Structure formats: structure tokens, C-alpha cells
């Protein structure tokens, strides 16, 4: 049983989904009304969320904790903001619901979310 659990855990840590969520930036005036697909400003490629809580871009130029990225949505273009803890937790729930097709079922989506949240809780 322990081995099976460990496999699920490591699979979740390596799984990636496209990052589709509202802006988690501090005091963002959008107040998480708009759900967007995110891209990396340095390379203009799509950003993915990994089960270990890291974000990485398609180009592969950066991979680090979602807490260490800075976000600029259409409401504050070019002004990169740190994620707000509550806004990020809320936005991640939306991210999972927006990418249901990437998960076998709701349970897998929630397991993925739990792993990402562990990273957020230890990095903020």
C-alpha cells in the first residue's frame, strides 16, 4: 500500500497542466474575475503548472515555485506583482476546475491541487 501511495505521489509531482487561472497578484483590480491562459513574458510561450507547485514555461527557460513568479494581467500590464496568498489559493482552485480534461477524474484533480498547495504553504 505504501508503495502504491508513493507512486501516486511522485506521478502527481511530475504531472503538468496548462496554467489557466485568474490573476493572483497582490491587490489586482480584476479581483479574479477573468480567467486567462498565462504566458512567460521572457519567451512568450505558454506557462504550465507542475504537481510539485512549480511553474515552468514551454520554452523551459524558468522553473520555480509558483510563489516566486510575478504576475501581470491585462489590468496592470508590465507591472509584475507578487501573488497574494489568499488570491493564489483561490486561483488554484479555479485552475484545477478549468483544466478538468487533464485529469482522470475529480479525485485526481484534487490530489494534484493538494500537492500544489503544499508547495504554496511552505513557500509563502
Binding site for Zn ion (CB under 5 A): 23, 25, 28, 40, 42-43, 57, 59, 61, 73, 75
Nearer to Zn ion, 21 or 96 (CB): 21
Distance, in Å, from the CA atom of 5 to the CA atom of 26, rounded to the nearest integer, reads 36
Q: Kindly tell me the burial class for residue 60, based on how many C-beta atoms sit within 10 Å of its own C-beta (0-12, 13-18, 19 or more).
A: exposed
| Least Cβ distance, residue 54 to Zn ion (angstroms) | 13
Using the structure block, give the residue that is written with the C-alpha cell 486567462: 36
Kindly state the cell numbers that stand for 77: 500590464
User: What does DSSP assign to residue 29?
Assistant: T
| Least Cβ distance, residue 57 to Zn ion (angstroms) | 3
| Least Cβ distance, residue 30 to Zn ion (angstroms) | 5
Residue 2: partners with Cβ closer than 8 Å, 6 or more residues away:
none
| Least Cβ distance, residue 44 to Zn ion (angstroms) | 8
In the beta sheet, which residues pair with residue 18? 48
Nearer to Zn ion, 11 or 89 (CB): 89
Nearer to Zn ion, 35 or 124 (CB): 35
Nearer to Zn ion, 76 or 97 (CB): 76
Amino acid at each position: 500500500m505504501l508503495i502504491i501511495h508513493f507512486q501516486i505521489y511522485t506521478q502527481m509531482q511530475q504531472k503538468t497542466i496548462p496554467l489557466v487561472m485568474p490573476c493572483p497578484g497582490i491587490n489586482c483590480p480584476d479581483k479574479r474575475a477573468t480567467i486567462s491562459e498565462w504566458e512567460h513574458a521572457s519567451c512568450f510561450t505558454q506557462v504550465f503548472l507542475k504537481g510539485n507547485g512549480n511553474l515552468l514555461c514551454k520554452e523551459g527557460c524558468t522553473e520555480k515555485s509558483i510563489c516566486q513568479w510575478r504576475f501581470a494581467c491585462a489590468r496592470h500590464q508590465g507591472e509584475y506583482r507578487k501573488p497574494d496568498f489568499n488570491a493564489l489559493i483561490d486561483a488554484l482552485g479555479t485552475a484545477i476546475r478549468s483544466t478538468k480534461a487533464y485529469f482522470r477524474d475529480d479525485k485526481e484533480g484534487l490530489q494534484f491541487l493538494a500537492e500544489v498547495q503544499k508547495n504554496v504553504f511552505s513557500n509563502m
